[in-house]
Amino acid sequence: MARIGVFICQCGNNIESTVDTKSVSEEMEKVPGVVFSCNYKFMCSSPGQEMLKEAIKKHKLDGVVVSACSPHMHEKTFRKACESAGLNPYRCEIANIREQCSWVHHDKTKKTGTVKSNDLTRMTIERLKRNRPLKKINIPVNKRALVIGGGIAGIQAALDIAEGGREVILVEKEPSIGGNMARLSETFPTMDCSQCILTPKMVEAELHERIKIYTYSEVEGLDGYIGNFTVRIRKKAKYVDEELCTGCGECIEKCPFKASSEFELGLNKRKVIYTPFPQAVPNIPVIDAPNCTMIQKGKCGVCAKVCGPKAIDFEQTDEIVEEKVGAVVVATGYELMPNERFGEYGYGRIKDVINGLQFERLASSSGPTGGEIRRPSDGKVPESVVFIQCVGSRDEAKGVSYCSKICCMYTAKHTMLYKHKVHEGQAYVFYMDIRAGGKRYEEFTRRAIEDEGAVYLRGRVSRVYERGGKVVVQGADTLSASQVEIEADMVVLATAIVSRTGADTLAQRLGIGYDRYRFYNEYHPKLRPVETVNAGIYLAGACVGPMDIPESVSMGSAAASKVLALFSADEMAREPIVAGVDKTRCNACWDCLVACPYSAIEKEEVKNRQGETVRWNARVNEGVCQGCGVCVAACRSKVIDLAGYTDEQVYAAISAF
Amino acid sequence: MDEKDVSRTEQDSKGGFEPRIMAFVCNWCTYAGADLAGTSRMEYKENVRIVKLPCTGRIDPLFIIKAFENGADGVLVSGCHPGDCHYTTGNYHARRRWIAFRSLMEFVGIDLRRLHFSWVSASEALKWVDLINNVTDEVRKLGPFAEYKGLKQGW
């Protein structure tokens, strides 16, 4: 027989004013299995807790029900008290007679409240009788981190984790780390040169003894759970031996073939063996296989002939490497909406219509024009440039209803860069609203308008076409209610920021959520902004949504601090509210596997002594299981149960109703 | 069961039928919403008894049958709004099961007005109060769920 103690709290007068706690206590003494019952003014106070502990010892209680406030309030307090008195904390249950009884039923005769408190307490007692003692689950933690994406957010996260004393694997898709930030000329609102602040960090990451960088590599798969992930990384063939290459650049110089440069966004050409930009990290070239005549047709091989250390290897193939890590930071960044989607602005038809990132390259001193603003068609210095904001953003017709957030700022920056380089030039900006929320941001846009002479026109552009070597922009100026036609030399579109191509595939590989725009979902958008539903996987940077550099850096650091907090202990303790399978009765229908939102259910093979597979059954991975119980309700043969919320407990509570 | 039936008869003979409502709610949204109704000192009908579960996805349709069997006149299921589930998709499972289960209940002969499903978030204390009041009123109009005993005997 159970030995249960029941403690009815008066909560000062909060409960007592509408519940006769003494009568509840007396009533509970009649319930079979209850050996002790009392009421007290403040159960959560130290004397109250002491009383509870003493009663546990004195009456040899094996279970405790506290009828008091919501379990969300003091369940932990009372479970802790029980634990210190030698009782398993999960043999303590709370009946909520304050928030869900005394505070919502204002009957001063105490009749209503007392009847309901009796019921609630009785239901909890019956439930408690079936509570099994549970133990916190300890999971070992592998203290190495994986960072996916080598842009500024990923670099920051990797550096912070490495500085915290932990090893980091940094995986980057491109031949160099640096991401989109490496493309920028200057950064708002300080106007410092992007590469000047980024490249030292890139080098620091490269030289850091605890950071291992895989460039030209992609994450193929992730198995495991928090603290114990195994990641498969595809190292794409570079056709250059990284160990042997010294980065002298002789091969690049001598390569006779060229292809369009991805880094320069098609504004320039690069060699077929190349590094994306001169400060690339690592400074090891890769061969663009589809354009290499040696790889395709077996002719040429100039690079191999001129390579001193014999690092060129045309036989190299993709390689899959496995790494074991305890946490993952996803920092895959953003792309611009594909240009072809803006036919109305002449994109793809008119050479002198470019996007914001292309303008960054034109303004960059390491760019295709050496930092001079020259238009792509004929290399002429443009006398006037029209900037169009919200191209694709805030436009349901283009499928993007959100604001891309950084365009107002970078367009203001572009007008300034243009003015600084072409003093006689005139910049026009078509905008919908100016959104310059951020430290020193509003002042920055005011400067562009008031001091640097950019003409801001509030309205949309209806048409862009070519006329006599000029690009004519027709639009509306809604503030003066007039039609505007501007003959410009160049047009720059602030195209929408969208998620990376393949962002959804990666999310599925990692088991994290994404929204309709394929931006990754935070665990909670406000309170847990760098965590994901898959414990141990964190987010940083523009893969979550459009954001600027300071935000990406903060998020990188925040994710790193989460990782370091996880790595601060050898083992991670977690609540034992997890599902479990009765393996002897499981008939392997896999309904649970399909239902589980966390992929916590695994197929387990049962073998006989000869090593032959006899049968299969489901198994719950306790490290992954979050304890929702969806599988329990889905199981047809009723062989899965949820610790802390077993069928037995629930039915007992219902029966006491 | 017998004791309950006796008290039920006494209650009914006094003229005031008070329905018994069992509510299955999730820990994260509706339970917290009901708590908020308490901390805001709102008032609602006392007829409801709450059973807390981690997620509406944990709710086995048999719980509902069991509740009726134990004398509930009405049953309420409430969880997080679609898209807000603490466990990402648990409430979608609950919703799908609910749809299938309702037709089954109707087939068996249970008045669907005794079954209620709702989404109440942790901030919707007022919605919770209205919900309980409305469900109680509706079930009170239907009277005690006497048919269930008939059904049980029929099985």
The contact set of A with B (CB < 8 A) is 70-72, 96, 98-101, 103-107, 112-113, 115-116, 119-120, 123, 513, 533, 577, 595, 597-598, 626-630, 632-634, 642, 645, 647, 650-651, 653-655, 657
Chain A partners within 8 Å of B38 (Cβ): 70, 98-100, 103-104
How far apart, in Å, are the Cα atoms of A545 and each of A358, A523, B86? 21, 14, 21
**Contact (CB, 8 A) for A34 and A28:** yes
Q: Is residue B6 part of a domain?
A: no
Instruction: Using CA atoms of A164, A550, A541, A518 in order, give the dihedral in degrees to the nearest 10.
Output: 170
Residue B26's H or E segment, with its range, is strand B21-26
Output DSSP code: residue A251.
Answer: H
Cβ neighbours for A509, distance < 8 A, ≥ 6 positions apart: A219, A220, A221, A222
pLDDT of A100 strictly over 70: yes
Block residue for tokens 């400067």: A447
Q: What is the pTM of this model?
A: 0.77
Q: What are the DSSP E strand ranges found in B29-137?
A: 48-53, 74-79, 115-119
Domain boundary residue, one of A476, A498, A520: A498
- Closest-CA distance of chain A to residue B114, Å: 17
Average pLDDT over chain A, rounded to whole?
Answer: 94
Q: State pLDDT tens for residues A483-530.
A: 999 999 999 999 999 999 999 999 988 988 888 899 999 988 888 999
Contact A597 B90 (CB under 8 A): yes
What are the structure tokens assigned to A102, written together?
């005394």
Among candidate residues A572, A564, A557, A426, the one with its CA nearest the CA of residue A490 = A426
Q: State whether A468 and A609 are in the same domain.
A: no
Q: Is residue A366 part of a domain?
A: yes
pLDDT of A149 strictly over 90: yes
Write the residue in B31, B67, B90 that is nearest to A654 by C-beta. B67
Write the residue in B35, B43, B88 that is nearest to A72 by C-beta. B35
Region B4-22: mean pLDDT is: 65
How far apart, in Å, are the Cα atoms of A551 and each of A405, A547, A548? 12, 6, 6
Q: Is residue A199 part of a domain?
A: no
Q: State whether A345 and A478 are in the same domain.
A: yes
pLDDT of A364 strictly over 50: yes
Q: Is residue A134 part of a domain?
A: no
pLDDT of A336 strictly over 50: yes
Global ipTM: 0.91
Q: How far apart are CA A647 and CA A459, in angstroms?
A: 62
Domain boundary residue, one of A478, A498, A518: A498
Write the residue in A119, A577, A657 that is nearest to B54 by C-beta. A577
Cβ neighbours for A232, distance < 8 A, ≥ 6 positions apart: A219, A220, A221, A222, A320, A321, A322
Q: State whether A583 and A452 are in the same domain.
A: no
Q: Is residue A200 part of a domain?
A: no
Please give the single-letter amino acid code of residue A461: V
pLDDT of residue B88: 80
Which of A104, A123, A522 has the most B C-beta neighbours within 10 Å, making it the best mutation to test the interface with B?
A: A104
Q: How far apart are CA B87 and CA A598, in angstroms?
A: 8
Number of H helices, E strands in chain A: 17, 34
The percentage of chain A sitting over the pLDDT mark of 70, rounded to a whole number, equals 100
Containing domain of residue A414, as a range? 334-498
pLDDT of B150 strictly over 70: no
Task: Place B154 in a pLDDT band, splitting at 50, 70 and 90.
Answer: low
Chain B partners within 8 Å of A601 (Cβ): none
Q: Is residue A51 part of a domain?
A: yes
Q: Between chain A and chain B, how many beta carbons pairs sit less than 8 Å apart?
A: 116
Chain B partners within 8 Å of A123 (Cβ): 49, 51
Q: State whether A27 and A121 are in the same domain.
A: yes
For residue A352, the domain's CATH number is 3.50.50.60
Q: State pLDDT tens for residues A446-465.
A: 999 999 999 999 999 999 99
B54: preceding bond cis by omega (within 30 degrees): no
Contact B42 A104 (CB under 8 A): yes
Q: State whether A473 and A599 are in the same domain.
A: no
Q: State pLDDT tens for residues A52-61.
A: 999 999 999 9
The percentage of chain A sitting over the pLDDT mark of 90, rounded to a whole number, equals 91
**Contact (CB, 8 A) for A588 and A616:** yes
Write the residue in A96, A115, A630 that is nearest to B58 by C-beta. A630
Region B60-72: mean pLDDT is: 90
Among candidate residues A159, A148, A261, A248, the one with its CA nearest the CA of residue A202 = A159
pLDDT of residue B70: 87
Among candidate residues A79, A68, A65, A92, the one with its CA nearest the CA of residue A6 = A65
Average pLDDT over chain B, rounded to whole?
Answer: 86
| Count of domains observed in chain B | 1
Q: State whether A344 and A445 are in the same domain.
A: yes
- Closest-CA distance of chain A to residue B11, Å: 14
| Count of domains observed in chain A | 3
Region A95-103: mean pLDDT is: 95
Containing domain of residue B136, as a range? 19-154
Q: Is residue A279 part of a domain?
A: no
- Closest-CA distance of chain B to residue A117, Å: 10
Among candidate residues A202, A261, A134, A286, the one with its CA nearest the CA of residue A642 = A134
Chain B partners within 8 Å of A533 (Cβ): 88
Region A372-383: mean pLDDT is: 95
Q: State pLDDT tens for residues B90-114.
A: 999 999 998 998 898 888 888 899 9
Q: State whether A589 and A457 are in the same domain.
A: no
Burial classification of residue A584, based on how many CB atoms lie within 10 Å of its CB (0-12 exposed, 13-18 middle, 19 or more buried): exposed
- Closest-CA distance of chain B to residue A391, Å: 30
Among candidate residues A333, A335, A313, the one with its CA nearest the CA of residue A237 = A313
Q: Is residue A622 part of a domain?
A: yes
Please give the single-letter amino acid code of residue A228: N
Contact A72 B32 (CB under 8 A): yes
Contact A104 B43 (CB under 8 A): yes
Q: State whether A338 and A464 are in the same domain.
A: yes
Region A570-580: mean pLDDT is: 91
**Contact (CB, 8 A) for B17 and A591:** no
Please give the single-letter amino acid code of residue A384: S
Q: Is residue A40 part of a domain?
A: yes
pLDDT of B13 strictly over 80: no
**Contact (CB, 8 A) for A492 and A359:** yes
Q: State pLDDT tens for residues A615-631.
A: 999 999 988 898 999 99
For residue B86, the domain's CATH number is 3.40.50
Q: How far apart are CA A605 and CA A600, in angstroms?
A: 16
Q: How far apart are CA B115 and CA B64, in angstroms?
A: 9
Q: State pLDDT tens for residues A263-317.
A: 999 999 999 999 999 999 999 999 999 999 999 999 999 999 999 999 999 999 9
Rounded to 5 degrees, φ, ψ at A9 are: -95, 140
For residue A46, the domain's CATH number is 3.40.50
Q: State pLDDT tens for residues A188-236.
A: 999 999 999 999 999 999 999 999 999 999 999 998 889 999 999 999 9
Domain boundary residue, one of A498, A521, A536: A498
Contact A70 B42 (CB under 8 A): no
Q: State whether A451 and A580 are in the same domain.
A: no
- Residue B43 exposure: Cα atoms within 13 Å on the Cβ side: 7
